[in-house]
Amino acid sequence: MVGWRCLVSERCAGTYGGKHISRTAASCGMNVRGIGRAVLVALALAASACSAATYPELATVSHVDLERFMGDWYVIANIPTRTERKAHNSIESYELDSDGTIKTTFTFRKGGFAGEEKRYTPRGFVVDKQTNALWTMKFGWLVKADYRIIYLTDDYSQTVIGRNKRDYVWIMARTPTIPIEDYARLARFLASVGYDVSKLHRVPQQWN
């Protein structure tokens, strides 16, 4: 669902603290030897406070039946990662493995319905065993992505996957399209939890 190239850069940019700030500055050729420790600490605290104020905890649904949640989900709309821009016929598929992890397959056509097929296979790890709604998506050995099931209909026909940073989001359904009334309701929901819905992008879906 999420492009791993974006998540690598996001992870580096999203980690704050004195050591990371020094490392970033040094990588840009800046001389940080003359900066006092107190200044670095102040910068780290300011960044942390700003991050906390900007991104309050994004609540998940109260419970997810993992077996019911498995299967194919059509991506109806999203705030896309760089990898997903110009994606058509996006589908996210889940399969629950015997070890409790979720085998995930994300496919789409790049640039059009007849475009090149792209395929990504991250693995989901359930972090909150009580709700089953908070996951980590792992891409290879290094990259981990926040994955939160923040909306789910009782019949498991529509869902919304969000992230605590409110940077990316995915509206998904069991069918390639949903009624316009449902889309409007989901957009209002996203606005109510802090998303900028002006960034929402409808994903073209066309199946013969």
DSSP string, the chain: ---HHHHHHHHHHH--SHHHHHHHHHHTT---TTS-HHHHHHHHHHHHHHHHHHS------S---HHHH-EEEEEEEEE--GGGTTEEEEEEEEEE-TTS-EEEEEEEEESSTTSEEEEE--EEEES-TTTS-EEEEEETTTEEEEEEEEEE-TTSSEEEEE-TTSS-EEEEESSS---HHHHHHHHHHHHHTT--GGG-EEPP----
Question: How much is the pLDDT for 141?
Answer: 75
Shared-domain flag, residues 157 and 86 = yes
Shared-domain flag, residues 33 and 90 = no
Contacts of 101 (CB under 8 A, 6+ apart): 123, 124, 125, 126
Shared-domain flag, residues 50 and 72 = no
Shared-domain flag, residues 34 and 70 = no
Examine residue 36 and state whether it is found in any structural domain, yes or no: yes
Examine residue 189 and state whether it is found in any structural domain, yes or no: yes
Last residue of a domain, one of 54, 74, 90: 54
Q: Look up the pTM and report it.
A: 0.75
Mean pLDDT of the chain: 81
Segment 50-70 mean pLDDT: 83
CATH number, residue 94: 2.40.128.20
Examine residue 139 and state whether it is found in any structural domain, yes or no: yes
Shared-domain flag, residues 112 and 188 = yes
Examine residue 167 and state whether it is found in any structural domain, yes or no: yes
Shared-domain flag, residues 78 and 132 = yes
40 is in which domain, residue-wise? 4-54
Examine residue 60 and state whether it is found in any structural domain, yes or no: no
Segment 60-73 mean pLDDT: 98
- Tens digits of per-residue pLDDT, 174-194? 999 999 999 999 999 999 999
Examine residue 124 and state whether it is found in any structural domain, yes or no: yes
Examine residue 115 and state whether it is found in any structural domain, yes or no: yes
Shared-domain flag, residues 126 and 49 = no
Shared-domain flag, residues 87 and 14 = no
Count of structural domains, the chain: 2
Shared-domain flag, residues 12 and 102 = no
Shared-domain flag, residues 94 and 149 = yes
Structure confidence at residue 54 as a pLDDT band (50, 70, 90): low
Segment 90-113 mean pLDDT: 97
Shared-domain flag, residues 185 and 105 = yes
Structure confidence at residue 55 as a pLDDT band (50, 70, 90): low
- Tens digits of per-residue pLDDT, 124-157? 999 999 999 999 999 877 788 999 999 999 999 9
Shared-domain flag, residues 31 and 95 = no
Examine residue 208 and state whether it is found in any structural domain, yes or no: no
